[in-house]
Structure 1
């Protein structure tokens, strides 16, 4: 990381209260950006805010158009916005697809797909006003290949991949780049949620072993490793890169 890569830039980060969103926000702040943090978790948001000097926090839900409008209004007050990372997401239920309740399906797609769309709808006009910028959405390795354990989650993240690629073509002429990261199993609260839902301690250990075995590097990733890839895609170092779905997955898709 370089201390000055984002000096003078304003960045919006959703899902900033924990995990990949917090790591991304901290990385942007360390490299000079002024960061606008967005999340519905007030306690976690406050922790991230303390770790990002000069940052501003807006509490809200990515699935709410009204909350997204408040986010856009605050972003406009902060100055020209040229960077966006949409990390808010959920892994959802781990039950088989044929047993998944309709409301659980709807909640998963509301957060992962609708939430990403609403954020893009709210913030992309600000990047256009600024004369260009860069966006990184958060998909998953499970959005690039089938996931027997998480078929609904896989479907939602595949939707994020194709939305990002489509918009990369739409906005290329406006000097706005859109890419997405596709993490494997990363040591975050979301991964812990998946393991905690196991029906017994033995089932949890088996699930952990199965998830770890998918990665040829033999371990789970760290949030900072994903954030480093996000910052690269947001930076001018990736000035000729758009429409990419970048696996950060320990070799899972190799």
Structure 2
């Protein structure tokens, strides 16, 4: 698969989907800056491929993102590809969801996604080429109980995807969202632990419960999401923009 871009940013690059995407792009020959809040796990991932470069940043902090761009682009050139992957989730009935929790989830998942990509947009448009990918969720395509802030944030990400795609349509820049179902990641492990604590189910039972929410009754693997990201970055996907692509076993 031909990839003609040189430098990518992947947020939330230390674990799960972010790590898998970063490795996929690095294996395709790109320099990839991975970021997150904690240096140690980022550096561990960066050690897996010399094309990976770890930097700490907080996607909810405008100044932190600006510093990331300044330092990474000075070292490796402008970002041709930006993948806004950082995200968080929690679970509670809507009537028990505090404003603080609502703001926390939307701050990372939606505002953080916007702050991640905004600094790249003008440069991509001026150069006439670029790729923006948001890692959203099937929760951005449908309703789901007990995760109202998460669902709202991911619907917002898909709206942002479509808005930016329309804005950049004639600029040589594509903007798409990938919408996974339940993926076997560290975030899922946290959800499994919560189910075990609240219901008394075994780990195997809790895991199977999440797998069965995906229509094909299997958990998506991070590498499957990474393969879709690589295709969207490739020259083959130049005409794909404004799409929300489910990777969910048929949801």
TM-score range, shorter chain: over 0.9
TM-score, structure 2 as length reference: 0.93
In the TM superposition, residue 203 of structure 1 has moved relative to its aligned partner by 7.8
Two-structure CA RMSD over aligned residues (Å): 1.7
- 1:246 corresponds to which residue? 245
Q: 1:130 to 1:75 in 2, by over 3 A?
A: farther
Kindly provide the CA deviation profile for residues 62-84 of structure 1, in whole angstroms up to 9, marking residues without a partner as x. 10101100111123211132111
| Pair 1:97-2:98 in alignment | no
In the TM superposition, residue 249 of structure 1 has moved relative to its aligned partner by 0.3
Aligned residue runs from structure 1 range 1-254, under 5 A: 2=1, 5-6=2-3, 9-77=6-74, 78-91=76-89, 93-198=90-195, 199-202=198-201, 207-252=206-251
Distance of 1:175 and 1:60 partners within structure 2:
28
Corresponding residue SS for 1:134? strand
Asked whether the 8 Å contact 2:94–2:146 carries over to 1, the reply is: no
Distance of 1:127 and 1:53 partners within structure 2:
25
In the TM superposition, residue 218 of structure 1 has moved relative to its aligned partner by 1.5
Q: 1:206 to 1:99 in 2, by over 3 A?
A: farther
Asked whether the 8 Å contact 2:46–2:52 carries over to 1, the reply is: yes
Asked whether the 8 Å contact 1:25–1:52 carries over to 2, the reply is: no
- Greater RCO structure (CA 8 Å; 6+ sep): 2
TM-score, structure 1 as length reference: 0.92
Corresponding residue SS for 1:22? helix
Corresponding residue SS for 2:192? helix
In the TM superposition, residue 51 of structure 1 has moved relative to its aligned partner by 1.6
In the TM superposition, residue 120 of structure 1 has moved relative to its aligned partner by 1.4
List gaps (5 residues or longer) in structure 2. Answer: none
Distance of 1:179 and 1:146 partners within structure 2:
20
Asked whether the 8 Å contact 1:139–1:157 carries over to 2, the reply is: yes
List gaps (5 residues or longer) in structure 1. Answer: none
